[in-house]
Structure 1
Amino acid sequence: MDHTHDKSEPTMNQAIFRIGLSVETISVYILCCGFKDGGIAISDKNLLGVWNGTKEALFESIKGLEKRNILLKIISGGEDKNIYKLTDNKSWKL
């Protein structure tokens, strides 16, 4: 049995608020954490389903998270069909 991660511990890392990201980008990060904690795939489709900003702003924020190595694309499925995973904050590019 793996005891390395307490399932009740939330994914979100408070450091996200201290690295100079835009409010929209932080919002996307929080949505991704909620999906991960809920066992839901972090995908373009799922993010678009709950995002209330523009599609362009969502994808710009995703790119920002990828650039900082906070979010990693694990499946590239073409337009609006990508799947991502959150990385450990030790690998973030601050």
Structure 2
Amino acid sequence: MNNDHAKPSMNQEIFKLGLSVETISVYLLCCGLTDQGAVLSTKNLLGVWNGNPEALYEGIKILEERKILFKIISDLEDKSVYKLNDIKSWKP
């Protein structure tokens, strides 16, 4: 878990990008996992996602396309690990 002095990972700019509610929800879950010090993986996201898996994967895809989320590693079973990019890397 991050220490008390760590800045939360969620950036308010996410709400100004015109993304769907589902995609923003994926982003918020990513921030929550990151702030808890958990691995940001499809497995962990599926564990907290209450929508259908296709919506989660679509949100991840959009976040990757906008350079908000970066895939670090993936295996052949589509289990991936990600990291959140700094806002300076985001595509508007």
Aligned-partner SS, 1:75:
strand
Does structure 2 retain, via aligned residues, the 8 Å contact 1:45–1:80?
A: no
How far apart, in 1, do the equivalents of 2:85 and 2:18 lie?
18
SS in 2 for 1:93: coil
Correspondence list, 1:1-94, <5 A: 7-94=5-92
Q: Within 2, Cα distance between the matches of 1:33 and 1:19?
A: 17
Equivalent residue letter for 1:45: K
- After TM superposition, the runs of 4+ consecutive aligned structure 1 residues lying more than 6 A away are none
- Partner of 1:42, secondary structure, is coil
In structure 1, what is the Cα distance between the partners aligned to 2:5 and 2:41?
21
Structure 1: gaps (5+ residues): 1-5
Root-mean-square deviation over aligned CA pairs: 1.2
- Pairs aligned (count): 89
Segments of structure 2 that go 5 or more residues without pairing to the other structure are: none
Report the TM-score, using the length of structure 2 for normalisation: 0.92
TM-score w.r.t. structure 1 length?
0.90
Aligned residue for 2:67, secondary structure, equals coil
